[in-house]
Amino acid sequence: MRLSALSVIIMLTLVFSQVVKSEDGFVVDNIQVNGLQRISVGTVYNYLPVNIGDVFSSDRIPVAVRALFKTGFFKDITIERSGSTLVVNVVERPSIAKILFEGNKDISSEDLLKALKNIGLSEGKVFNQQILEKVEQELRRQYFSHGKYGLKIDTEVADLTRNRVGINIKISEGRVAKIKQINVVGNKTFDNDDLQKDFELSTSNLLSFYTKDDQYSKQKLSADLERLRSYYLDRGYINFNIESTQVAITPDKKEIYITINVKEGDVYTLEKVKLAGNLIVQPDEITKLVQVGPGEIFSRRNATETSKAISDRLGDDGYVFANVNMVPDINEADKTVAMTFFVDPGKRVYVNRINMRGNTKTRDEVLRRELRQMEASWASNTKIERSKTRLERLGYFEEVNVETPPVVGTSDQIDVNYTVVERPSGNLTAGVGFSQTQGIILNANISQDNVFGSGKRLNLAFNNSDVSTNYRFGFLNPYFTLDGISLGYELGYRSTDARQANIASYTTDVANAGMNFGIPLNEFDTLRFNADVKHTSLDTTPSSSDEITNFIDEEGDSFLTFAPSIGWTHDTLNRFVFPTSGGQQRLSALATVPGSDLEYYKISYKQQEYFPIAKDLTFSLSAEAAYGDGYGKTDELPFFENYFAGGVRSVRGFNDNTLGPRDSTKRPLGGSTKLAGSAELFFPVPFMKESKSIRLGTFIDAGMVDDSFSFNEMRYSAGISGEWLSPFGAISVSVAKPINLEDQDDERNFQFSFGSGF
């Protein structure tokens, strides 16, 4: 058979190519890896760009080496040929066995390890010498954020067995660099003190040890610059500008100087204000929300609040994604601004589903009956947030969160997801506690604030102390009707030795039974009715006073009374435990019915308000007024129904129940009139700011008890307090100093009480 010329050429080409391959490369029949200690062979195969059966030549060696080096596992790699076997020789990088810190006090080792882990350095990982430079940079960043610029770092790497290393980082933290001076340059209208009064950064002062406001932080400075800008923009300086900022540190790295250069510009006034766009609601409803007007000095804050108020108003009608833009038209010649609020309501949004999550014990219906936002109705920001607040106020949950994700595939529906974290709501407990007034307190308590997840409350309690022995059974159904009318019952017996409570010497045995109703008037107001039947047995002691023996001689020592009462509560507190905003007002009146063994009445009013004045600071004001008297055949309020003041729950710094009139034996007898008040600033414990179960406070208390309203009898005190909702019970501590101590007063500077369950 003859071959054509073309066939001959093709055959020669194939033969030639095989010869070339045999000289420059080879077919890989096997891959051998030498030098592995921790890294598996499979890992090398995964990263090696060569497979068995491939033709491998010398020009592929650099590519293969680079691929293996990129893993970071090896510090040396060579590739050789042994027959048809590709031989890969590697030297592994050592692994990090241990990272130790020395000298770190301001930042814990745990926090430093977390920071280093973020840059790729942690125990068990492969050690790379180059990463040590990043380590020093990260540590400096961490310490600089704490104001320690005199930081010195020395890093040692020690070789260990089995190709491991230990890293020892020696830290000399140095002293915290304090802000020595903050200067604002270029201000002509306002002085430095006015401009800096809202700054987070400050020079050293008495509270700097707690607030750390004298420690420089780039983030804090940025926030302060924005506060400075807002200060001017809220006062009409539209063209205000911060031209430059310099931060200088002294050579010894102990003091910092901050200079802020500003250009104030001119003051602008509002020429006119108008609304535009699709207002949706009646214009007069929007108009009353506008907080700026013609002739006023321009204020960005007022304009921003106007935008938010309009947006919130539209949000209550379902336009939760409404957008209200401020459009200023500035007239440089007249120094005036024409302000337009352009309203874009967007689509009306409806609630698709309301989902409850995390309530493993509490029934779904218990949560849903607190909701003010309903499914299938338009979404309302106010109702969604109010529902969250009502869930928090139940007291069943440690935390309540809400999310409003859009429904996939729609543009006008959202889901509302409430997530709760349940707290223990009771069960069988036994306890021991101590009070400076009552001494050791023993108690047994079967309580359940959320019986079987139904929201009903059950309590069966026994309490015994030096002052009293108390047995009590109580039941409350907060939703006796679907409208929220509550129904409760109570049975009790109490034996009291009054002398042990720092008051007059007598004893009482009281048995009572009662029923109560609560009727909600609106979202924040509740009317309560109580009907109580009480039998009181009164007895003297050898040291009883004339006032007590005279009362028994006139009225007897055993009394049966029927006392209906009415009360009104206005409650806007934001949470059940440690509220930070809102308030509570209580007005109550009680009177025994004519024909009871004793005829008397009591009226009281109490109010407490909380004001959030900063992220971690809450200011509280409280006041109480109470009055009682006899009527009909009873001349005056029975002495065992008197009001008392003084102690941890009243005017701190004075012994419990010791303020006010005294009997013939010079012991406190209480009075028919009471006035009390307190102003307190609450703040978190340093280094425990995230805790929601403990807080500190500083306070001023005032109070008096008498048989008439007499401000001359008012007593004042000031001090510090601490409250902790510990796992073993509530602990309350105060250290107070009376301001106007009189000779007959009983001073008690340190006061506390606690209870524990086990």
- pLDDT, tens digit (0-9, with 9 covering 90-100), for 59-115: 888 999 999 888 888 888 999 988 899 999 998 888 888 888 888 888 888 888 888
Contact 699, 534 (CB under 8 A): no
- What would the mean pLDDT of 487-500 be, rounded to a whole number? 91
Q: Which burial class, exposed, middle or buried, applies to 123 when counting CB atoms under 10 A from its CB (0-12, 13-18, 19+)?
A: middle
User: Domain 95-172's class?
Assistant: alpha beta
- Lowest mean pLDDT of 410-414, 511-515, 726-730, name the range: 726-730
Cα-based distances in Å from 19 to 22, 23, 59, 278, 473? 5, 6, 17, 83, 103
Measured in whole angstroms, the distance separating CA 101 from the mean position of its chain's CA atoms is: 32
pLDDT grade for 456, boundaries at 50, 70 and 90 = confident
C-beta contacts of 80-84 below 8 A and 24+ residues apart: 81/26, 81/56, 82/32, 83/29, 84/26, 84/27, 84/28, 84/29, 84/30
pLDDT grade for 162, boundaries at 50, 70 and 90 = confident
Q: What is the pLDDT of residue 21?
A: 42
- What would the mean pLDDT of 116-136 be, rounded to a whole number? 80
Closest CA to 727 of 358, 398, 467: 398
pLDDT grade for 141, boundaries at 50, 70 and 90 = confident
Q: What is the pLDDT of residue 641?
A: 94
Sign of the Cα torsion 332, 333, 334, 340 reads negative
Q: What is the pLDDT of residue 644?
A: 93
- pLDDT, tens digit (0-9, with 9 covering 90-100), for 277-324: 998 888 888 888 998 989 999 999 999 999 999 999 999 999 988 999
If phi > 0 it is left, if psi is from -120 to 50 it is alpha, else beta; for residue 120 that is: left
Residues in the chain: 758
pLDDT grade for 449, boundaries at 50, 70 and 90 = low
pLDDT grade for 428, boundaries at 50, 70 and 90 = very low
Residue partners of 550: CB distance under 8 A and separation at least 6: none
Query: Hey, what amino acid is at 600?
Result: Y
pLDDT grade for 183, boundaries at 50, 70 and 90 = very high
Q: What is the pLDDT of residue 691?
A: 65
Share of the chain above pLDDT 70, in %: 91
- What would the mean pLDDT of 127-140 be, rounded to a whole number? 80
**CATH number for the 178-263 domain, one of 1.10.3720.10, 1.20.140.10, 3.10.20.310, 3.10.20.30?**
3.10.20.310
Contact 330, 417 (CB under 8 A): no
Helix, strand, coil share of the chain (percent; to 5): 20, 45, 35
Q: What is the three-class DSSP state of 100?
A: strand
Q: What six digits make up the tokens of 311? A: 């947006």
**CATH number for the 350-422 domain, one of 3.10.20.600, 1.10.10.10, 3.10.20.310, 3.60.40.10?**
3.10.20.310
Angle between helices 300-315 and 218-233 (to 10 degrees): 90
Query: Hey, what amino acid is at 748?
Result: R
Torsion of CA 213, 214, 219, 223, to 10 degrees: 60
Q: What is the pLDDT of residue 175?
A: 81
Report the mean per-residue pLDDT for the chain: 86
Query: Does 426-757 match 269-344 at the fold level?
Result: no
- In this predicted model, which residue has the larger pLDDT, 431 or 583? 583
How many angstroms separate the CA atoms of 717 and 647, rounded?
11
Which CATH architecture describes the domain 426-757?
Answer: Beta Barrel (2.40)
pLDDT grade for 688, boundaries at 50, 70 and 90 = low
- Lowest mean pLDDT of 200-214, 249-263, 337-351, 633-647, name the range: 200-214
- pLDDT, tens digit (0-9, with 9 covering 90-100), for 515-549: 999 999 998 999 999 999 999 999 999 999 999 99
| DSSP 8-state assignment for residue 94 | P
Q: How far apart are the first and last CA of the chain?
A: 106
Which residue is listed with tokens 């005199």?
Answer: 150
- pLDDT, tens digit (0-9, with 9 covering 90-100), for 348-392: 999 999 999 998 888 888 899 999 999 999 999 999 999 999 998
How many angstroms separate the CA atoms of 549 and 396, rounded?
48
How many angstroms separate the CA atoms of 261 and 236, rounded?
19
pLDDT at residue 453 above 70? yes
269-344, what's its fold? Ubiquitin-like (UB roll) (3.10.20)
Give residue limits of the domains in the chain. Answer: 20-92, 95-172, 178-263, 269-344, 350-422, 426-757
Contact 188, 267 (CB under 8 A): no
Q: What is the pLDDT of residue 221?
A: 92
Q: What is the pTM of this model?
A: 0.63
- What would the mean pLDDT of 723-752 be, rounded to a whole number? 84
The Cα angle at residue 585 between residues 580 and 587, in degrees rounded to 5: 160
How many angstroms separate the CA atoms of 340 and 345, rounded?
16
- Lowest mean pLDDT of 14-18, 369-373, 422-426, 524-528, name the range: 14-18
- CATH code given to domain 20-92: 3.10.20.310
pLDDT grade for 448, boundaries at 50, 70 and 90 = low
Q: What is the pLDDT of residue 594?
A: 94
- What would the mean pLDDT of 260-283 be, rounded to a whole number? 91
Q: What is the helix (H) or strand (E) element at residue 528, kind and residue range?
A: strand 525-540
Share of the chain above pLDDT 90, in %: 50
Side-chain half-sphere CA neighbours of 34 within 13 A: 11
- pLDDT, tens digit (0-9, with 9 covering 90-100), for 227-256: 999 999 999 999 999 999 999 999 888 899
pLDDT at residue 24 above 50? yes
Q: What six digits make up the tokens of 90? A: 């590697």
